[in-house]
Amino acid sequence: MTDFLWGAATAAYQIEGAANEDGRVPSIWDTYSHTPGLVLNGDTGDVAADHYHRWPEDVELMRELGLGAYRFSIAWPRVSDQRGIDFYSRLVDALLEYDIKPVATLYHWDLPQELEDAGGWTARDTAYRFAEYAERIGAALGDRVHLWTTLNEPWCSAFLGYGSGVHAPGRTDPVAALTAAHHLNLAHGLAAQALPGPVSVTLNLHHVRGEDADAVRQVDAVANRVFLGPMLDGAYPADLLEDTRGLTDWSFVRDGDEATCKAPLELLGVNYYAPTLVRRWDGVSPRATADGHGDGTASPWVGCDDIDFLPQPGPYTEMGWPIDATGLTELLLRLHREYPGLPLAITENGAAFDDRVDPDGRVRDQRRIEYLRDHLTAVERAREAGADVRGYFVWSLLDNFEWAYGYSKRFGIVHVDYATQKRTWKDSAHWYQDIVARFPQGPKFSGAKRRSASTD
């Protein structure tokens, strides 16, 4: 892999719809979204962006955008039936016909409900079932997929799904979250052994900042090194085990597991949206907690009960996340220092804004253009400083089902009218098309001739 990959990313449950078609079985997100009160407005992914039926139109969008790669996820609940496998086979063939490299993610959070009923990611057997699934899909698509990604953001799967409960399956047990994190690490290693081609994993690494170095260290352990340790170093960090020893003795980690977790990687995928600011809680003042959990509800930050997660200055996206591209440069350079020689790719980066189709049919999302340009500049700076960043995938190709936020947040560079399923290019899509065409070797804004605000 030597060429810079310009791409876009999506996830199966967020766009496919067709929840009950062609043998697809229920996932934890079907159950979660159909449970009253858990997803905003009672939204579900039953129809979403109807990509299952409209994929030829969506692939044509990718061709027009000039994408070199498309990062999509395979729905584990869909491929229990051959018709589901055939769907992904047709999609892969269509991508290849347009010289778009298929980058396939095996797990983007949609665990089959039957496995959750048997314990989900807290059950060791789920890791072995995942390896069997990887082997089966690898045999069906392995000769055509450019790059396999085992897991997308296992931090969210473990700590939002089993720790805070704001993601499926909605559990709130800190020990379950740590157990799930280990079994996801193990699943990654086992799947990497089963897959026939180049393997990657995508982590939503948190760029943690703060004046208290020990608070930063503590959060970094449960945010980042709980996955980086076993996956890249072959061992869990000692400070993480010490910080959480009041919760668990980590006996769910068996002899040989950490060596299995450390699988050779073609590259490491990095998802980045905003930095995290922390300090040690003084025990007196009202405590601030990240991800909206400052009201006594469960926190995803297992073992960090004495940490304040501080609000940061704006501007903000519609998600309430601060816009700060400098954190991306710093994160990439950290990875470059700690894991020299490991190729990297930005596998998700983007922003939600209140996008509307104007009477003239245009979607003017200038704030997204500015966000993307700032973050691509951050990638450029990291590359100039030596980081081996080989690709960038904008999140997302399409507006979609944004998990517990339902359809209230729009991340796409292509607008979707959910009533009619009409796709409309936003100004950011035209801008991205221009960037991809102008900079085939990767972002290089410094020294480039400045165009109008709507293009550069």
Whether residue 281 contacts residue 357, with contact meaning beta carbons closer than 8 Å, is answered with no
CB atoms within 10 A of CB 79: 24
Which of 440, 410, 406 lies closest to 428, judged by CA?
A: 410
What residue spans of 142-210 are helical by DSSP H?
Answer: 154-155, 174-194
User: Is 348 known to be catalytic?
Assistant: yes
| Residue 370 annotated as catalytic | no
* Residues in the chain, overall count: 456
- CA atoms of 428 and 437, how far apart (whole Å): 14
Q: Which of 16, 116, 266, 348 is catalytic?
A: 348
3-state secondary structure of 316: strand
Q: Between β-strands 5-9 and 307-309, what pairing exists: parallel, antiparallel or unpaired? A: unpaired
Is the Cβ–Cβ distance between 355 and 415 less than 8 Å? yes
SS3 16: coil
Q: How many CB atoms lie within 10 A of CB 419?
A: 6
413-416 — which CB contacts under 8 Å span 24+ positions? 413/8, 413/350, 413/368, 414/61, 415/355, 415/357, 415/363, 416/49
- Active-site pick, 153, 258, 266, 402: 153
Give me the active site residues, please.
153, 348
